């Protein structure tokens, strides 16, 4: 179990529209009482410009010091300062409180004073927004409660979170914004896995985030994001997403939603609340929020339950969400393979019929997704699920054309083997190169096309092979925009397959000096294992022994090569030298 069910709080977020705000102990106004003896209102506006003059008094300065310590996660000293000079102050109002990230140490104090076995969040938890909230809906459509997991009931610790991500969270909170860790980072921490990155969501706009961080840049057109860069680590900060129907009356606004005829979202720069953001995310297990203000985990869509039951479930109507972004089909398969979970029936049912929508996704984005699918350590299981849901053909049409009913062709066997080998190398913390993966996957389409060109065009095999490499890579790049730096390496690996059998003289040593020799040898070994061809197996054994032999042994191996391994000699015919005409000196 991820959490203790007897301690999970499920409370409906119903707050009156005119609900008064809670008096913040750390931000109390020091304005004296009125003439009739009544105490003046204690709430101070968030903007420092609207603060009254008594903020400069001594007690106000002590308040500010306590709040700075609180935001710096040193709340005990700040709490002692605040509690020391507020003993005679009026207690907070009993109306619906306002959640404030600056008062999370007050919450910690109330937690310690509550009876053992009873969660202190029951009587103090409310929605973050004083206005009427948007209802949260279950998968069948009924209203469901928000789940809040206190710190002592979940396993997320700040020790497991990136220090740079914590810096971003603390600065956003200190500046008066809401900020939460969200997405795969929270999911992996709850599953006791190491997250590969940390994403943050906030109510600050991208422009406001850029003003807070000098090391920030704004990216993205479909959805504007802020990247806060700490050397090689990038912390992605996104503003709370809103429902794209909200701004239909302003189609020219840069934050408006643009939707294609087929339902795909072309622009989704709409900002909303945290409740809207939870409903706009793709899967329930990715709609979990962790805040450093009170160290709680918030669940608005039932993601904790699905995480415990091992279910991948899409938020909202599956067909509508897939049409908005067809890549969600690939993400569902990837998460199911990576986390060893099952895709829910309503989430999986529309995928085979909508798989062709992937053809409308930009090839550059599909290339990035293909690396996540096949080079994340779970490529073999992901490949099986891609075949199951008919998602492999839109990504690799050349390979899918050569699939057989039995599934035992050399191309299918080498595909399975290269994926298993890639997964094993990643699990052993070894480097992997996408160029080798694509070279192995597309090898047999290249061979088949080269033979066809040689027979129909009357070309030599080497010329036909060169043309086949260009044709296959060009066609594959129409679906996956493989960068030129990778296709160049793929060509080198393929070209070396034709040169590995030519070993006489200094050729063997020159081949070993080639930068992609090792990758070419690994592909040769894969071919020999898959095809079970005697000549390929003998060639693989010879190169394996030659690489480990001493220089003297290598010389003997080269000297004992038979005539069958020698290249055919080519006789060069010299053109007759053109002589200048003789000069007749006597005439």
Reduced 3-state DSSP string for 514-531: CCCHHHHHHHHHHHHHHH
Give 343-398 as a DSSP string: E-HHHHTTHHHHGGGGGGS-HHHHHHHHHHHHSSS-HHHHHHHHHHTT-HHHH-HH
- Residue 452: which residues within 8 A CB-CB, separation 6 or more? none
Cβ 221 vs Cβ 260: under 8 Å: no
Q: What distance, in Å, lies between the first and last C-alpha atoms of the chain?
A: 115
Please calculate the CA angle 354-337-312 and round it to the nearest 5 degrees. 65
Residue 282 known to be catalytic: yes
Give 422-477 as a DSSP string: HHHHHHTT----HHHHHHHHTHHHHHHHHHHHHHHH---HHHHHHHHHHHHHHHHT
Q: State the Cα–Cα distance between residues 296 and 360, nearest whole angstrom.
A: 40
Other residues' Cβ atoms within 10 Å of the Cβ of residue 476:
23
Reduced 3-state DSSP string for 107-137: HHHHHHHCCCCCCCHHHHCCCCCCCCCCCCE
Q: Residue 182 burial (CB < 10 Å; 0-12/13-18/19+)? A: buried
> Residue 490: which H helix or E strand, with range?
helix 484-497
* Three-state secondary-structure class, residue 484: helix
Which residue out of 197, 463, 492, 529 is catalytically annotated?
197
What six digits make up the tokens of 438?
Answer: 């694509």
Residue 199 known to be catalytic: yes
Q: What is the chain's Cα-based Rg?
A: 33
Which residue out of 106, 282, 299, 423 is catalytically annotated?
282
Reduced 3-state DSSP string for 42-107: CCCCCCHHHCCHHHHCHHHHHHHHHHHHHHCCCHHHHHHHHHHHCCCCCCCCCCCCCCCHHHHHHH
DSSP 8-state symbol, 179: E
According to DSSP, the residues that pair with 242 across neighbouring strands are: none
According to DSSP, the residues that pair with 19 across neighbouring strands are: none
> How many alpha carbons lie under 13 Å from residue 87 in its C-beta half-sphere?
4
Backbone angles phi, psi at 216, to 5 degrees: -120, 145
According to DSSP, the residues that pair with 199 across neighbouring strands are: 182, 236
Q: State the Cα–Cα distance between residues 73 and 292, nearest whole angstrom.
A: 9
Which residue out of 100, 188, 199, 268 is catalytically annotated?
199
What six digits make up the tokens of 366?
Answer: 């599909």
Residue 197 known to be catalytic: yes
Enumerate the active-site residues.
197, 199, 282
């Amino acid at each position: 179990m991820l959490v203790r069910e007897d301690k999970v709080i499920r409370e409906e977020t119903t707050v009156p529209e005119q609900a008064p705000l809670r008096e913040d102990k750390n931000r109390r106004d020091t304005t004296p009482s009125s003439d009739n003896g009544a105490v003046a209102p204690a709430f101070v506006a968030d903007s420092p410009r609207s603060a009254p003059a008594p903020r400069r008094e001594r007690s106000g300065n002590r308040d500010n010091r306590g709040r700075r310590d609180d935001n710096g996660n040193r709340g005990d000293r700040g709490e002692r300062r605040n509690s020391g000079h507020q003993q005679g102050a009026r207690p907070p109002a009993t109306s619906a409180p306002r959640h404030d990230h600056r008062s999370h140490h007050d919450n910690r104090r109330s937690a310690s004073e509550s009876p053992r076995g009873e969660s202190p969040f029951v009587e103090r938890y409310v929605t973050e927004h004083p206005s009427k909230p948007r209802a949260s809906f279950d998968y069948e459509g009924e209203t469901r409660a928000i789940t809040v997991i206190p710190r002592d009931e979940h396993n997320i610790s700040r020790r497991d979170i990136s220090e740079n991500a914590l810096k971003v969270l603390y600065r956003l909170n200190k500046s008066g914004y809401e900020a939460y860790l969200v997405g795969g980072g929270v999911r992996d921490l709850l599953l006791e896995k190491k997250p590969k990155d940390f994403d943050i969501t906030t109510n600050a706009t991208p422009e406001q985030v850029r003003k807070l961080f000098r090391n920030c840049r704004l990216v993205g057109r479909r959805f504007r994001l802020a990247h806060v860069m700490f050397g090689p680590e990038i912390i992605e900060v996104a503003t709370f997403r809103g429902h794209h129907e909200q701004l239909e009356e302003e189609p020219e606004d840069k934050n408006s939603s643009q939707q294609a005829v087929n339902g795909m979202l072309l622009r989704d720069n709409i900002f909303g609340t945290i409740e809207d953001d939870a409903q706009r995310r793709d899967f329930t297990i990715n709609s979990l929020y962790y805040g450093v203000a009170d160290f709680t985990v918030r669940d608005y869509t039932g993601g904790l339950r699905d995480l415990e039951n091992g279910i991948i479930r899409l938020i909202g109507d599956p067909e509508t969400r897939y049409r908005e972004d067809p890549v969600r089909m690939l993400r569902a398969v990837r998460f199911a393979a990576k986390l060893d979970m099952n895709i829910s029936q309503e989430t999986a049912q529309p995928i085979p019929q909508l798989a062709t929508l992937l053809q409308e996704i930009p090839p550059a984005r599909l290339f990035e997704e293909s690396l996540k699918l096949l080079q994340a350590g779970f490529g073999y299981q992901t490949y099986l699920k891609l075949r199951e849901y008919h998602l492999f053909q839109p990504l690799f049409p050349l390979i899918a054309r050569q699939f057989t009913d039995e599934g035992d062709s050399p191309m299918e066997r080498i595909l399975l083997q290269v994926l298993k080998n890639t997964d094993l190398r990643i699990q052993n913390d070894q480097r992997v190169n996408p160029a080798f993966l694509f070279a192995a996957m597309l090898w047999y389409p290249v061979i088949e096309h080269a033979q066809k060109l040689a027979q129909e065009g009357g070309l030599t095999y080497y010329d036909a092979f060169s043309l086949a490499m260009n044709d296959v890579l060009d066609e594959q790049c129409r679906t996956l925009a493989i960068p030129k730096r990778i296709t160049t390496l793929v060509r080198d690996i393929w070209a070396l397959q034709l040169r590995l059998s030519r070993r006489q003289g200094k050729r063997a040593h020159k081949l070993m000096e080639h930068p992609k020799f090792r990758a070419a040898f690994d592909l040769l070994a894969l071919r020999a294992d898959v095809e079970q061809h005697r000549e390929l197996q003998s060639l693989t054994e010879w190169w394996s022994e030659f690489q480990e032999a001493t220089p003297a042994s290598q010389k003997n191996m080269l000297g004992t090569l038979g005539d069958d391994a020698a290249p055919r000699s080519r006789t060069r015919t010299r053109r007759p030298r053109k002589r200048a005409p003789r000069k007749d000196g006597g005439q």
